Amino acid sequence: MRNLSDQVNPSRVRRLNRSAGKEGPVIYWMSRDQRASSNWALQFALETAERGGTFVVVAFCLAPEFLGAAFRQYHFMIEGLKEVEQSLAEKNIPFYLQAGNPVERLPELIRQLRAGTMVCEFDPLRIRKAWKNGIVKNADVAIYEVDAHNMVPCLEASDRQEYSARTFRKKLGKKLGGFIERYPGSEGQKKAAADLADTVDWNRIESRLEVDRAVPAVEWLKPGTGEGLKTLARFLENGLTGYARQSNNPNGEARSDLSPYLHFGQVSAADVFHEVSLADVPEEDKEAFLEELLVRRELSDNFCFYNSHYDSVKGFPDWAGATLKAHEGDPRPYVYTRSQLESGDTHDELWNAAQLEMLKTGKMHGYIRMYWAKKILEWSRTPARALQTAVYLNDRYELDGRDPNGYTGIAWSIGGVHDRAWKERGVFGKVRYMSYAGCGRKFDIDKYVSRVQNM
């Protein structure tokens, strides 16, 4: 039963252990949803603290490395966290930045603060499940998990791996009505002393980062919640109209550039949903965009949560695994090493431009990403090798990489996940093929190539 002051939908929340809550502050361990507002995990922590007559602190654990992330991604994330620290201070919520392995650092903080409860977020990735399991083992406090990332909580949307967007869309549609909820304006909390935690020494944190600086920060997209909401406003102004027809054209405006903000949780998908729903644009453009933001994005969490092989050929549907196996011995027209692909050094100028766009900007247009990944399949010795290469490049250079959307997008492209069988051909078997000529029928290749080369 929800009491009046509770705004968090109970079906967003699940217990991760049986330990009884104790006296003492509530720690919200922030990781996936790096924002101080429009955040159901933070809201749940505030409600829990209020009920217990205590207060909330927020802790972020800066891991020494994360799925191949380089300086580019850590910089974008840390700039966003600086804004989180400030916004939390205005709400009288202390912010702790812990460097190291969360499995060690969080239990230490729980002991240091004599915390009674910990709140964490839903995240389908293996590494996050491992961190959580480690903390549950090491800490004897009540631990709750809140799905603050999906509009319809992943575990609520479906209790199994969905076969296609069609089956998932139906289930999501039935549940969505119950989760179109506005965030309560949380003015924060009275109780805690904001100066409980020292302000973070960001220079020291950044100077001690041991991530690969060969992948530099990008300049064209500014990090943080404030910039993310400006990017959204710009998209509503001039990118949403025509999205339905233009989203397959990398030369057009039909791209929100929100994925890095959504990946790091600097912007809430629910806020994007509400703004898009209110926009004065043709219905078909809203529908096309929400199909991506809701159905495709939340389908990715479904795939990664229920399929533990989300980044391996073992995660492919049986038909795709069989057909790729049957064609594993087919002659490849070209075979490139990972470093040739990494430097965009192939015979295909369109593919090279796509790789260059990713190297330079940390982003690649959605339509081109499909072509990009499918060509890696065509030019790699085996599908397993192709998948490994695509994941490596995507997670090293994309700002929005290391995300369920990426593993699912690559598995769709190379392994037919959420897709159907197509006309059989060499190397691909019945996995959907994409050709240079096919792209040329959709958009002006020369225009895309020269634009990227002049970036």
| Rounded least distance, CB 361 to ligand FO1, Å | 16
| Residue 203 burial (10 A CB sphere; 0-12, 13-18, 19+) | exposed
| Rounded least distance, CB 29 to ligand FO1, Å | 8
Q: Of 288-347, which residues contact ligand FAD (CB under 6 A)?
A: 292-293, 296-297, 300
Contacting residue, 33, 47, 162, 403, with ligand FAD by CB under 6 A: 403
Name the residue type at position 47.
E
Nearer to ligand FO1, 142 or 154 (CB): 154
Site string for ligand FAD, 252-281 (x = CB under 6 A): ---xxxxx--xx------------------
Binding flag, residue 403, ligand FO1 (CB under 6 A): yes
DSSP assignment string, 369-385: HHHHHHHHHHTSSSHHH
Binding flag, residue 31, ligand FO1 (CB under 6 A): yes
Binding flag, residue 264, ligand FO1 (CB under 6 A): yes
Contacting residue, 410, 431, 439, 452, with ligand FAD by CB under 6 A: 410
Contacting residue, 369, 402, 418, 430, with ligand FO1 by CB under 6 A: 402
Contacting residue, 153, 317, 383, 406, with ligand FAD by CB under 6 A: 406
Q: How far apart are CA 41 and CA 29, in angstroms?
A: 9
CA dihedral 289→293→298→300, nearest 10 degrees, is 90
Q: What b/e string do you get for 75-109 counting C-beta neighbours within 10 Å, with b at 16 or more? A: bbbbbbbebbbebbbebbbbbbbbeeebbebbbeb
Nearer to ligand FO1, 358 or 434 (CB): 358
Binding flag, residue 232, ligand FAD (CB under 6 A): no
With beta carbons less than 8 A apart as the criterion, state whether 263 and 257 touch.
no
Q: How far apart are CA 388 and CA 385, in angstroms?
A: 5
Of 69-77, 155-163, 394-402, 446-454, which segment contacts ligand FAD by CB under 6 A?
Answer: 394-402
Q: DSSP alpha helices (H): ranges in 145-282?
A: 154-157, 165-176, 202-207, 225-238, 243-246, 259-263, 269-278
Task: Find residue 57's DSSP bridge partners.
Answer: 27
φ/ψ region of 429 (left if φ > 0, alpha if ψ in -120 to 50, else beta) reads: left
| Residue (of 91, 102, 104) closest to 55 by Cα position | 91
Tokens of 140: 């004897």
CA angle 145, 149, 150 (to 5 degrees): 105
Residue 66's binding partner among ligand FAD, ligand FO1, none (Cβ under 5 to 8 angstroms by kind) is ligand FO1
Determine what percent of the chain falls in helix, strand and coil, rounding each to the nearest 5.
50, 5, 40
Q: How many residues does the chain have?
A: 455
**H helix count then E strand count, the chain:** 21, 6
Nearer to ligand FO1, 61 or 229 (CB): 61
Of 57-65, 106-114, 412-420, 432-440, which segment contacts ligand FO1 by CB under 6 A?
Answer: 57-65
Contacting residue, 61, 151, 313, 377, with ligand FO1 by CB under 6 A: 61
| Rounded least distance, CB 402 to ligand FAD, Å | 7
Of 42-50, 250-258, 323-331, 431-439, which segment contacts ligand FAD by CB under 6 A?
Answer: 250-258
Binding flag, residue 77, ligand FO1 (CB under 6 A): yes
Tokens of 97: 């930045």
Q: Of 88-127, which residues contact ligand FO1 (CB under 6 A)?
A: 123, 125
Of 53-61, 66-74, 368-376, 445-453, which segment contacts ligand FAD by CB under 6 A?
Answer: 368-376
Q: How far apart are CA 78 and CA 238, in angstroms?
A: 29
Nearer to ligand FO1, 378 or 403 (CB): 403
Note the residues at the interface with ligand FAD (CB under 6 A): 247, 255-259, 262-263, 292-293, 296-297, 300, 366, 369-370, 373, 394, 398, 400-401, 403, 405-406, 409-410, 412-413
Note the residues at the interface with ligand FO1 (CB under 6 A): 31-32, 61-63, 66, 69, 73-74, 77, 123, 125, 128, 264, 402-403
